[in-house]
């Protein structure tokens, strides 16, 4: 079944002790181990994390959770359509989202990624997760 799970209810208290509303991030990765590791890093940085394991699940999560602020997307998840296609689709639907595109493969060519997207090699680093938090949660 390819249905998104709603986020678990949590306190609005951030790791720094403030009562700001939660800051939602979405991890889109088909490999469970990588998805969980990425979600853990983002949670440690302060994000409330949603997960998607396919393009349709990612699309549903984006439609359901208008408060999303960050999407971490596997560059190669799109399948036969080609690399970076899902990142392009997400950017077209939600140009307000910060977008980090991860891949174990080659770096993108100019024009492959949406303007607001940042590319990084897999796996997501703790430093990049903290940097995203600092940029978004201010």
Flag whether 8 is in a domain: no
Q: Tell me, what CATH number does 106's domain have?
A: 3.40.50.2300
What SS3 class is residue 74?
strand
Flag whether 13 is in a domain: no
Flag whether 96 is in a domain: yes
> What is the side-by-side strand order in the sheet with 98-103?
48-52, 24-28, 68-74, 98-103, 117-121
Would you give per-residue pLDDT tens digits along the chain (138 residues)? Answer: 455 454 444 444 444 444 446 799 999 999 999 999 999 999 999 999 999 999 999 999 999 999 999 999 999 885 656 788 899 999 999 999 999 999 998 899 998 999 889 999 999 999 999 999 999 987
| 32 CB neighbour count, 10 Å cutoff | 10
pLDDT of residue 22: 78
pLDDT of residue 20: 45
pLDDT of residue 82: 75
Those residues whose C-beta lies under 8 Å from the C-beta of residue 72, and which sit 6 or more positions away, are 25, 26, 27, 28, 29, 38, 42, 100, 102, 124
pLDDT of residue 18: 43
pLDDT of residue 28: 96
Flag whether 18 is in a domain: no
The pTM for the full model equals 0.82
Strands 117-121 and 68-74: what pairing? unpaired
Radius of gyration of the chain (CA): 14
Those residues whose C-beta lies under 8 Å from the C-beta of residue 71, and which sit 6 or more positions away, are 25, 26, 28, 58, 62, 90, 94, 97, 98, 99, 100
- Domain enclosing residue 86, as ranges: 24-136
Number of domains in the chain: 1
């Amino acid at each position: 079944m390819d249905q998104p799970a709603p986020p678990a209810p949590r306190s609005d208290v951030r790791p720094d002790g403030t009562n700001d509303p939660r800051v939602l991030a979405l991890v889109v990765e088909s490999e469970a181990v990588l998805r969980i590791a990425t979600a853990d890093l983002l949670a440690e940085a302060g994000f409330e994390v949603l997960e998607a394991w396919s393009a349709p699940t990612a699309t549903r999560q984006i439609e359901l959770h208008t408060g999303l602020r960050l999407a971490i997307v596997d560059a190669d998840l799109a399948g036969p359509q080609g690399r970076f296609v899902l990142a392009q689709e997400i950017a077209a639907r939600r140009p307000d989202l910060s977008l980090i595109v991860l891949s174990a493969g080659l770096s993108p060519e100019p024009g492959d990624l949406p303007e607001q997207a940042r590319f990084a090699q897999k796996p997501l680093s703790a430093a990049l997760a903290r940097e995203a938090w600092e940029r978004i949660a201010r």
